[in-house]
Amino acid sequence: ADMTNEEVDEADHMTWGIVVSLDDFVGPPGWSSDEPSNASLVKNPLASLIPMAIVTTPVTGSDIPNNGPKKYILNVNYAGNEMCESHVRVVLETIDHIDLMDWYIGCESKAIDAGKLYCEVKGLVKSTEEKLDLSRTSSDERYAGSVPPTALFYYGYFSWNKK
């Protein structure tokens, strides 16, 4: 038996608690994710992004409906030893950035650094040693050249690295 949208939402809330809207996210006062001059985009190598459907489909026994918002789980580790290791896990929801988020997941699955790809598309990479092999990415430049949503900076998936 397939679950209705309301049942899926209720199951998500009971299981995952707070869901952060990627489309409406605003950081705390004084915080900014604006691109500084002379900076490169860096994807956190200790961060991973997965679609919520991968986790919930085996539990609910049905796919989440394709219409409406899509949810993603962002896991970010901050290293340290077992006793001192810290991490962030957040559930992000979006309607406006579904294609972009799915593109980031595709980059991860191909071991492509979306931050480096952004820098290359924007012409921020000068050294040929740093350039990616774009032929293996088969990526769409409109995603590669897009500034990531603010929440991905706030929760540690991306950061700006001043040169």
pLDDT attached to residue 59:
56
- Reported as a single tens digit per residue, the pLDDT across 73-110 is 999 887 767 777 778 889 999 999 999 999 999 999 98
How many Cβ atoms from other residues are within 10 Å of residue 20's Cβ? 17
Give residue 10's pLDDT: 56
pLDDT for the residue numbered 102: 93
Q: Is 106 left (phi over 0), alpha (psi -120 to 50) or beta?
A: alpha
Query: What token pair was written down for 21?
Result: 């809207």
Percent of the chain past pLDDT 90, that is, above it, reads: 43
**What pLDDT is stored for residue 27 in this prediction?**
93
Global pTM reads 0.77
d(CA 52, CA 57): 8
Integer Cα distance of 103 and 140 in angstroms: 9
Who has greater pLDDT, 61 or 151? 151
| Residue 79, token pair as written in the block | 């290293």
What is the token pair recorded at 52?
Answer: 């919520």
The tokens for 104 are: 């980031």
Whether the Cβ atoms of residue 108 and residue 49 lie closer than 8 Å to each other = yes
Give the tens place of pLDDT for each residue, 117-154. Answer: 888 888 776 554 445 555 444 556 678 888 999 999 99
